[in-house]
């Protein structure tokens, strides 16, 4: 998956000391996959759709039926109990459940522990994602002041990871944390979005029990081969003021996403998205012309 975007595989490590994590990955802003981070968690043995329905079925969940554009940060198709969302997801390819809060008071909190990685995890931000067969989570940008650790359970999943320094190539809409919703990162439309030809990043393959460290500010897109469950852990990497600013940006992302969804009813791209597309394409044309003239 993500074969059309230039990338290299993410490093895979077992029993990585905290000092090495800080020096080789955190300090350099490079992602890494942990093969043994969750090996002693009950979640490794227990987590499947039936278990999630039974143990956490009453939690509120946003359900996406898979008909929305792959890059769209939009309003869920419906909001319902997790047990009902999972029941729908089992029979609906590409459907997914997004950002179910499973903090320390959740009934399934006993199934995992916060790993000792030198981070102070914010338990209130812990969330659960469920992807159906061939589901794709939208491309989004991780907070610039947050470390993110994604723990995966179920069929194999792939994560495309793009460094924050490549944001000018990502067709970001305004100051939000999402891209033009028409872009398909599994099969990029290079004729419409030529800047993506110059994007390069990493791809992590996650099997049951694997976890990936996503450095602050990275862009990431998750694609599921089959049904998978992911636990998302977050730790503050900046100051309190930076964190408040990041929360504001996240709120802006959601508001902008809803506006774009409304604009989509009348035309394929909103006026704002077309401006982003035009501006980025012009910048790339100028870059290519200058490079060819040398």
Residue spans of beta strands (DSSP E) within the chain: 6-9, 11-13, 32-34, 60-64, 78-81, 96-101, 127-131, 140-141, 146-154, 157-162, 200-206, 211-214, 219-224, 228-236
What number of other Cβ atoms are within 10 A of residue 115's Cβ? 19
By C-alpha distance, which of 238, 60, 209, 79 is closest to 147? 238
In the numeric block, which tokens belong to residue 227? 């049904």
Distance between CA 101 and CA 89 in Å, rounded? 18
Domain boundaries of the chain, sorted by first residue:
6-293
Structural element, H or E, at residue 53: helix 49-56
| pLDDT score at 186 | 94
pTM: 0.89
| pLDDT score at 63 | 93
3-class state of residue 135 by DSSP? coil
Ranges of residues in the chain whose predicted pLDDT is under 50: 258, 260-267
What number of other Cβ atoms are within 10 A of residue 260's Cβ? 22
Instruction: Write out pLDDT tens, residues 24-82.
Output: 999 999 999 999 999 999 999 999 999 999 999 999 999 998 876 655 556 788 999 99
| pLDDT score at 92 | 84
| pLDDT score at 250 | 60
Q: Are residues 129 and 61 in contact, defined by beta-carbon separation less than 8 angstroms?
A: no
| pLDDT score at 292 | 86
Q: Are residues 40 and 147 in contact, defined by beta-carbon separation less than 8 angstroms?
A: no
| pLDDT score at 264 | 45
Distance between CA 56 and CA 148 in Å, rounded? 23
| pLDDT score at 124 | 87
CATH number of 6-293: 2.60.120.650
């Amino acid at each position: 998956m993500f074969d059309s975007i230039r990338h290299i595989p993410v490093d895979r490590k077992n029993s990585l000391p905290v000092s090495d994590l800080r020096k080789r990955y955190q300090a350099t802003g490079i992602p890494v996959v942990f093969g043994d981070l969750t090996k002693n968690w009950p979640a490794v043995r227990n987590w499947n759709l039936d278990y999630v329905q039974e143990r956490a079925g009453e939690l509120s969940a946003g359900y996406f039926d898979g008909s929305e554009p792959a890059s769209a940060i939009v309003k869920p198709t419906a909001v319902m109990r997790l047990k009902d969302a999972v029941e729908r997801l089992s029979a609906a390819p590409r459907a997914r459940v997004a950002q179910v809060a499973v903090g320390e008071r959740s009934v399934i909190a006993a199934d995992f522990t916060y790993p000792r990685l030198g981070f102070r995890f914010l338990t209130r931000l812990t969330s659960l994602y469920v992807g159906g067969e061939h589901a794709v989570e939208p491309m989004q940008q991780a907070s610039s002041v947050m470390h993110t650790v994604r723990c995966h359970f179920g069929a194999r999943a792939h994560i495309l990871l793009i460094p924050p320094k490549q944001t000018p190539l990502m067709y970001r809409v305004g100051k939000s944390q999402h891209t033009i919703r028409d872009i398909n990162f599994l099969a990029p439309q290079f004729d419409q979005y030529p800047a993506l030809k110059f994007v390069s990043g990493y791809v992590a393959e996650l099997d049951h029990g694997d976890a990936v460290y996503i450095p602050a500010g990275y862009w990431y897109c998750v694609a599921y081969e089959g049904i998978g469950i992911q636990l998302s852990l977050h730790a503050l990497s900046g100051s309190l003021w930076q964190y408040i600013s990041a929360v504001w940006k996240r709120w802006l992302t959601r508001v902008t996403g809803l506006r774009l969804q409304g604009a989509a009813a009348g035309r394929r791209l909103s006026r704002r998205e077309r401006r982003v597309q035009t501006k980025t394409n012009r910048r790339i044309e100028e870059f290519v012309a200058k490079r060819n003239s040398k």
